[in-house]
A and B are shown apart, each in its own frame.
Chain A
Amino acid sequence: MTAPEPGYSADEMMTVAAARELRGTRVCFVGIGLPSLAANLARQLHQPDLVLIYESGTIGAKPSRPPLSVGDGELAETADLVVSMPEIFAYWLQGGRIQVGFLGGAQIDRFGNLNTTVIGPYERPQVRLPGAGGAPEIAWCAQRVVVIMRHRRRAFVERLGFLTTPGLCPGDPERGGALGKGPTAVITDLGVLRPDPATQELVLSELHPGVDPDRVRAETGWHLREAADLGRTAPPTAQELDVLRRLSSE
């Protein structure tokens, strides 16, 4: 039996779900790529006053399209202010002024720890990834973190090759003195994972429309538990898809 074509892709569902996750957010520190697309979608859909901060020092950037890099000219030209890198990290991020840190990653584990450094041994890696960027301090200092990643078994792993960016700490909701509480949602193209308040472990909290929970388990390298109140994501609305497609065209 073939399921009917839903009229949108799994990536579009992921981006729409991530944009919805920013509802009620005032200030968001945005990583490049998937986070930037979703944050710009949120700003155009339901959060026109969402303040987007990129690590290039652009605060309140209003790009018409998601930029290719964190330092594209349009970010600086449309920003409320542009500050130096010492200032963006010291005053704005470490100063506790960011509500949501919005990140991607190459690998994630059951506690939302991220690896963007290496696959294989550090000294002689099979794959050398770009490295930390601003993610460790964003994850440490933002009031909460939202992660967006495609759900694949090689990415959702039992054991990280390298722990670049700390997530949740089992047994320590204070996360060893961090300013923020860490990842509160991991949005994927199959569903949404959220931490179990008792164990801090990420559990399957929502399934996107038409996704079988067995498929999510098959694409997760650890034994993925389900939330007691496992929900279904509402499919993208025509308006959400329309705005997203306009943003991502070109």
Chain B
Amino acid sequence: MSELHGTRWRSRIGGLVLVLVALTLPLVLSDFWLQTGLFVMATAIGAVGLTLLVGVAGQLSLGHAAFAAIGAYVYAWSTGESTTTVSGAGLPPLAGLVLAAVVSALVGAAFSPVAGRLRGIYLGLATLGLVFIVRHLLVNLDQWTGGFTGRSVESFALGGFSFSNSDPDYLAVAGVEFEGLHRLWYLFLVLALVACWLAGNLRSGRTGRAWANVRDSETAAAAMGIGVARAKASVFVVSSAYAGLAGAMLALAYGRVAPDVFSLTASVDFLVMIVLGGLGSVGGAVVGALFVTALPLVLAEYSGSLPFLAAPGSGGLDPSTASRIVYGLAIIAVLLFLRGGLAGAARRLRHRSSRSSPPAGPAPHDPISTDDVGRPAAVTPSRSKETTR
């Protein structure tokens, strides 16, 4: 018992240190790193939503980018002013942010006749269609979306305080001028923390157990009184809301929305993030987002000083190609060699170190298997070892 508390405290202190670091980073980082951080936090929220759907509930989705697109455009439309080319509702930004998540969730709910009925890869196929359908709508409903070229996005503001470079024009903390990027950093940090905390609670609570049960065996779940279709539809709605919020944040970070940002590639990228991090793990999804989102940006930024990279278009190995190959290979490597992704590896490491310390108490872990898709916990060797109580 004492050890369980010890580990929990250790992980809490670790989390607190990370948050403190994240709070102080804007004081030292350059604009490029701040921008990268914004993208990472936005995609992390999307990845956390997807890991609930794919990792916890075992439902494959290739349509995550479609819901992110809905969130982004709902935010852009609802906060934007009407011009001659595009319309807008001119709502306050906070309402736009809430609306982005809500509308995405509603579209997810509207998809529930499909999402509740299909399972696993079949849902993956159905959601594949969503990406193309949403893209088609974005291009064609140009009085709302701005068509191919997209539309610009109003910056976020809260009660007269704008998260942009102006209004207040000059704001400094500890001698560092806080511009739009710095201000957005804190907004995104709060949103990301709340989203992760909520997802962690959902996962380990009654709802999450029901989802995991549906993943392991629909028949068993139904026999225990879980409404299978309802559970599948509900996890789809939750993950859509996460995607919508992530989309709105991406729109804020870019300052512009365009259909090409939310292509099938973006959906696949979300999947890559959660597989690398470890399916079902909230922390893993964040780490995966950090890797997948930051890698191409960082490689592009420093391509001049990396000898193996060529400038884009010169026929050599350009940064985006290099990073795509790296994370394509990474996904293969993780699935072949690293059960449970990075989170699984970290857990095994912790497990090993706690085993070696003399009073070998019960392993600190919730009893629901969340690192493997579609396998009952009992037959997975690494899990059954950890859950002996």
Co-assembled chains A and B: no
Q: Residues of B with Cβ closer than 8 Å to A?
A: none
